[in-house]
Amino acid sequence: GQSLEQPSEVTAVEGAIVQINCTYQTSGFYGLSWYQQHDGGAPTFLSYNALDGLEETGRFSSFLSRSDSYGYLLLQELQMKDSASYFCAVDSNSGYALNFGKGTSLLVTP
């Protein structure tokens, strides 16, 4: 079977840094993606890691360790608008169907 584990909830203060972890067990692995979803909205793509290491895109960074089946999303300089759910997703079939985790609800407080 395939499974992805991430914390259900995280709370952080505006301006701080937060890390959302994701561990996975899948039969195949091509890459790990991160998506953001605001309440009632559509998920939007944040990042994709196919190789080990850190990918940086503005305030957001994503890390992957294939040997540990582990990745994380790092959000810096948190803003109130970052309050949303964040999903990790494994691409186990070369760019096609994704397997999503259950999501981490991030609450940014003043």
Partner 1 sequence: DGGITQSPKYLFRKEGQNVTLSCEQNLNHDAMYWYRQDPGQGLRLIYYSQIVNDFQKGDIAEGYSVSREKKESFPLTVTSAQKNPTAFYLCASSPQGASEQFFGPGTRLTVL
Residue 41 touches partner 1, criterion: CB under 8 A: yes
Binds partner 1 by CB under 8 A, chosen from 18, 22, 43, 90: 43
Residue 19: count other Cβ atoms within 10 Å of its Cβ: 14
Q: Report the nearest approach of partner 1 to the CB of residue 83 (Å).
A: 16
What are the beta bridge partners of residue 89?
33, 100
Q: Are 79 and 55 within 8 A, CB to CB?
A: no
Which one of 11-19, 53-61, 63-71, 87-95 is the stretch in contact with partner 1 (CB under 8 A)?
87-95
Task: Provide the CA 86 distance to its chain's centre, in angstroms.
Answer: 6
Which chain residues interact with partner 1 by CB under 8 A? 4, 8, 31, 33, 40-45, 48, 50, 87, 89, 91, 94-103
